[in-house]
Amino acid sequence: MRSFDLSPLFHTSVGFDRLNRMLDTANRGDERSQNYPPYNIEKLNDNAYRIIMAVAGFGEDDIELTQHENALTITGKAQEGEKDAAKFLHQGIARRGFQRRFELADYIRVSSANMENGMLAVDLTREVPEEMKPRRIEIQSGSVLEHKAA
C-alpha cells in the first residue's frame, strides 16, 4: 500500500488536526480487526443516522457504549464463566472481545441504543446549537454612522 504525506496541506490550515488523526488511523489500521463485528451505517434523514452492528452471542451487559467528544467507542467483552460452561462440537459464533471506534462529526450525539435478536442499533442525532445555525441579518436603511477622530 502506498502512503501519502499530507503534511504540506496542514501548514496553512488551522483546526484540522482531527482530519489528520483520522487519516493516520485509516492508514495504520489492522485489516483483520476492522471486519469484526460487521456493521452498517444508515442515514435516516439529514440529521439522523443509525449504526447497526451484528453482535450475536453478546448480551446487553457484555456491551459498553462510550461517547467522548467526537468519538463513539463500542466495546464488547464476553463473560468469562460462560465459555467454560458448554463443550462445543463446533463454535461458529465468534465471542471474542472487540472494540470498534467511530469518529463523529461535530454536534452528533448518541440519542438511543437498543439490542434485539443479536443486532445492536445505535441512533445518532445531529443537534446544531441555535447560535451556530445560519441566520439572516436584515439590512436597515437610515443614516450612515460617521467616524469621529479623537
> What is the structure's pLDDT at 130?
84
- Domain total for the chain? 1
> What is the structure's pLDDT at 142?
75
Residue 137: inside a domain: no
Residue 144: inside a domain: no
Residue 139: inside a domain: no
Q: What is the pTM of this model?
A: 0.65
Tally of CB atoms within 10 A around 115: 16
> What is the structure's pLDDT at 2?
66
CATH of the domain at 100: 2.60.40.790
Rounded mean pLDDT for each run of 10 residues along the chain, 150 residues in total: 64 58 64 74 92 91 92 86 69 83 90 94 90 85 67
Q: Identify the sign of the CA torsion 22, 41, 127, 65.
A: negative
> What is the structure's pLDDT at 49?
94
CA 135 to chain centre: 28
Residue 138: inside a domain: no
Q: Whole domain around residue 43: which residue ranges?
A: 10-128
Residue 150: inside a domain: no
**Rounded Cα distance, 9 and 6, in Å:** 6
> What is the structure's pLDDT at 147?
63
